[in-house]
């Protein structure tokens, strides 16, 4: 076989190693449920509230869920009559909170650890165009408040049909698997994991094969979660999201984020180390100094909260800490590859799925060539092998990812439509 083409430009995400995210999005562990999301977002007294994608009971792990939670937290602060509110984090939740506070005439200041706004949305300039290393799609498009904003701003968006990817490298009989998986997860015992369900199922797989079941779970769950299946809740870990008319933004989420950040008082490179809450107010402390306010909205991701990067004084209540312990974050990473020529088969849906080489190794690919006409692939990697592929420098990751995509055999029938 001839050597696969090398990308002419590339970018690689590192969300798992990033100290301000420590993972990709929040998930419910085997001992948790959506009630933990609600508990985490329950105000702590009258001056502190945690908001962000992790606190949305039905739209977690998505930008519009984060944004909505920010707005809700701002409304809560305003209803208590606070006049000056601090916001920790300038991701979608923080931007939603700060805009709503400003809209209601409150004083607000946002402290952001990074040198940019957007959090887990991250538009990067690559070879003359801007692509997303974080969030890409406007999910649940019809009910997505940010999709309405994108329409208002007349952004160019492209629909992706996730239900009919071109599947490379696996030919399985999968008819009926989707419903069977949903049924098994819905009836699994409380406290059991997806791995427990998989073990029981593959012991008696008829009419499918164990390998087909495993690959289906890789595609449906591992790819969407990026955590060991032993950790993920069977009953509650498979949450709503991908595939409901999703559209990706040509030119990146930065177009939305920059619009939302306009006119706000955002202090970049202001990591918060301590949050003190007293009867008189709150004080945020970091290397950049102190900021005092009547209340604070904290939008740090759950893995950052769990790592005790921020000291709360007094400590978060036991109920919040228990909820935090039931949630976690997985690792799904992205690679963007630009090529001189397009050398891969056309997928009618613009989407590809690859299985292999090993069990649990899965990647999904978006053909983003339509963005500016230059051949471009956006790959998402998850599963046990991600740690291995992402171990080296970016150039090695990009070369390995390109090799994986180009080495996959072409299988022409979309497995989910068989």
Ligand X SMILES: Cc1cc2nc3c(=O)[nH]c(=O)nc-3n(C[C@H](O)[C@H](O)[C@H](O)COP(=O)(O)OP(=O)(O)OC[C@H]3O[C@@H](n4cnc5c(N)ncnc54)[C@H](O)[C@@H]3O)c2cc1C
Query: How big is the site for ligand X, counted in residues (CB under 6 A)?
Result: 41
* Residue 138 beta carbon to ligand X: minimum distance, rounded to whole angstroms: 7
Select the residue interacting with ligand X from 272, 316, 336, 366 (CB under 6 A).
272
CB 53 within 8 A of CB 264: no
238 contributes a contact to ligand X by CB under 6 A:
no
98 binds ligand X (CB under 6 A): no
Lookup: tokens for 107? 């004083």
Question: What count of other Cβ atoms lies within 10 Å of the Cβ of residue 347?
Answer: 20
Q: Name which of 398, 363, 405, 369 is nearest 384 in CA terms.
A: 363
Token reading at 99? 């805009």
Please tell me whether residue 323 adopts helix, strand or coil conformation.
helix
- CB-count burial class (<10 Å; 0-12, 13-18, 19+) for 74: buried
**Could you say which of 63, 160, 222, 233 contacts ligand X (CB under 6 A)?**
63
> Should residue 386 be labelled a site residue for ligand X when binding is judged by CB under 6 A?
no
For ligand X, the closer of residues 306 and 309 by Cβ is: 309
Question: Judged by CB under 6 A, which of 29, 94, 356, 379 binds ligand X?
Answer: 94
Interaction between residue 114 and ligand X (CB under 6 A): yes
Q: Does 109 bind ligand X (CB under 6 A)?
A: no
CA distances to 73, 192, 198, 234, 238 from 184, in Å: 36, 11, 9, 8, 11
Query: In this structure, what DSSP letter does residue 352 have?
Result: E
Sole binder of ligand X in the list 37, 39, 53, 330 (CB under 6 A): 53
Q: Per CB under 6 A, which region of 128-136, 174-182, 227-235, 356-364 contacts ligand X? A: 128-136
Give the residue with the Cβ less far from ligand X, 163 or 209. Answer: 163
Q: How far apart are the first and last CA of the chain?
A: 30
Sketch the per residue contact string, 301 through 340, with ligand X: x for CB under 6 A, - otherwise: x--x----xx---------------------x-x------
Residue 27 pairs in a beta bridge with 328
Contacting range for ligand X; rule: CB under 6 A; set: 16-24, 164-172, 231-239, 288-296 = 16-24
> How far apart are the C-alpha atoms of 297 and 111, rounded to whole Å?
11
Bridge partners of residue 412, in order along the sequence: none
Contact flag: residue 88 with ligand X (CB under 6 A): yes
Q: How far is CA 168 from CA 22, 223, 413, in A?
A: 31, 15, 9
For ligand X, the closer of residues 94 and 165 by Cβ is 94
User: Which one, 135 or 213, has the nearer CB to ligand X?
Assistant: 135
According to DSSP, residue 211 is labeled: H
Task: List the one residue from 40, 85, 92, 398 that touches ligand X (CB under 6 A).
Answer: 92
Stretch that binds ligand X, among 133-141, 168-176, 315-323, 361-369 (CB under 6 A): 133-141
How many Cα atoms sit within 13 Å of 365 on the Cβ side?
Answer: 27
Q: Does 113 bind ligand X (CB under 6 A)?
A: yes
Please state the φ and ψ torsions of residue 376, each to the nearest 5 degrees.
Answer: -140, 135
Residue 324 CA to residue 62 CA, distance in Å, equals 18
Helix (H, G, I), strand (E, B) or coil at 16: coil
Nearer CB in complex with ligand X: 109/121: 121
Nearer to ligand X, 93 or 221 (CB): 93
Q: Kindly state whether residue 24 participates in binding ligand X, applying the rule CB under 6 A.
A: yes
Contact positions vs ligand X (CB under 6 A)? 13, 15, 20-21, 24-25, 52-53, 61-63, 66, 88-94, 111-114, 119-121, 134-137, 139, 271-272, 299-301, 304, 309-310, 332, 334
């Amino acid at each position: 076989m001839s050597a696969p083409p090398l990308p002419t430009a590339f970018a690689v995400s590192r969300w798992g190693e990033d100290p301000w995210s420590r993972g990709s999005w929040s998930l419910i562990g085997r001992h948790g449920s959506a009630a933990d999301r609600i508990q985490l977002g329950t105000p702590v007294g009258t001056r502190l509230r945690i908001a962000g994608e992790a606190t949305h009971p039905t739209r977690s792990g998505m930008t519009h869920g984060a944004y909505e939670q920010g707005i809700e937290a701002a409304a809560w602060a305003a209803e208590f009559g606070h006049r000056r509110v601090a916001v920790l984090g300038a991701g979608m939740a923080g931007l939603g909170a700060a805009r709503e506070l400003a809209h209601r005439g409150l004083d607000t200041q946002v402290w952001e650890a990074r040198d940019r706004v957007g959090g887990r949305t991250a538009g990067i300039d690559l070879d003359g165009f801007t692509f997303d290393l974080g969030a890409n799609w406007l999910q649940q498009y019809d009910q997505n408040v940010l999709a309405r904003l994108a329409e208002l701003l007349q952004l160019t968006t492209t629909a992706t049909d996730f239900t009919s990817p071109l599947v490379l490298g696996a030919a399985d009989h999968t008819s009926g698997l989707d419903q069977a998986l949903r049924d098994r997860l819905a009836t699994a015992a409380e406290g059991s994991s997806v791995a427990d369900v998989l073990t029981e199922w593959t012991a008696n797989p008829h009419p499918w094969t164990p390998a087909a079941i495993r690959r289906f779970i890789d595609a449906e769950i591992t790819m969407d979660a990026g955590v060991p299946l032993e950790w993920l809740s069977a009953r509650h870990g498979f949450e709503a999201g991908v595939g409901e008319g999703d559209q990706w933004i040509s030119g990146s989420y930065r177009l939305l984020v920059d619009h939302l950040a306009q006119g706000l008082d955002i202090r970049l490179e202001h990591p918060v180390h301590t949050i003190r809450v007293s009867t008189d107010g709150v004080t945020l402390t970091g290397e950049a100094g102190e900021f005092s306010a009547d209340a604070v909205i904290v939008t740090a991701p759950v893995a950052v909260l769990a790592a005790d990067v921020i000291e709360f004084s007094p400590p978060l209540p036991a109920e919040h800490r228990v909820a935090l312990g039931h949630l976690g974050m997985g690792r799904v990473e992205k690679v963007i590859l630009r090529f001189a020529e397009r050398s891969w088969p056309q997928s009618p849906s613009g989407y590809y799925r690859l299985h292999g080489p090993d069990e649990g190794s899965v990647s999904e690919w978006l053909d983003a060539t339509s963005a500016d006409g230059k051949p471009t692939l956006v790959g998402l990697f998850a599963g046990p092998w991600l740690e291995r592929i992402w171990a080296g420098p970016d150039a090695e990751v990009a070369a390995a990812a390109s090799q994986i995509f180009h080495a996959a055999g072409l299988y022409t029938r979309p497995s989910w439509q068989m």
